Amino acid sequence: MKFYQVGETLQEFVISSNGNVYVRKKLDAESKQNYELKVNAFDGLHESIRPFTLRIQVDDVNDNSPICHIPDRETEVLESAKNGTILFYLNATDADILKDHSEISYSLVDAKNDAKAFAVDHKTGEVSLIWELD
């Protein structure tokens, strides 16, 4: 028995004559999640009456890095600003499909010790003052 693709031939897959399906090139769930291959069988004398359909679903993996939509910036705040004053919001996205792979968590990196006066809400990206400056 031999197998082969019929109809639209998909370049992402190859079917061996014994029916094994192999991925020929990298698949990306963000680009395309579902494929359909039409496969026919041939026993040496006869083809199958109609092809069967093989449906392939590509599952998402965590393969995209978050993208920050706010460039490096400076902001001004009055020295009399009160504890809890909101300074700005961070904003980032991740192209992965699954929520577990695309959920963003914000944090401050303390490069100089200056960050002790500020806090960021890890879910919303809200950056605020956590103690008065003066």
DSSP assignment letter at 14: E
Quickly count: other Cβ atoms within 10 Å of residue 132's Cβ. 13
Do 81 and 100 reside in the same domain of the chain?
Answer: yes
Domain assignment present for residue 18? The answer is yes
pLDDT of residue 12: 93
Do 75 and 112 reside in the same domain of the chain?
Answer: yes
Do the bridges between strand 92-93 and strand 86-89 make them parallel or antiparallel, or are there none, so unpaired? unpaired
Domain assignment present for residue 134? The answer is no
For 73-118, the pLDDT digits (tens) are 788 899 899 999 999 999 999 999 999 999 999 998 865 676 788 8
Is the pTM higher than 0.75? The answer reads no
Which residues are within 8 A (CB) of 81 and not within 5 positions of it... i.e. 6 or more apart?
129, 132, 133
Do 40 and 10 reside in the same domain of the chain?
Answer: yes
pLDDT of residue 111: 59
Q: Any bridge partners for residue 132, and if so which?
A: none
Q: Which domain holds residue 92?
A: 67-129
Please give the tally of structural domains in the chain. Answer: 2
For 9-43, the pLDDT digits (tens) are 788 999 998 989 999 999 999 999 999 999 999 88
Do 51 and 24 reside in the same domain of the chain?
Answer: yes
Residue 63 tokens, joined: 């393969």
Do 78 and 106 reside in the same domain of the chain?
Answer: yes
Distance CA 32, CA 48 (A): 29
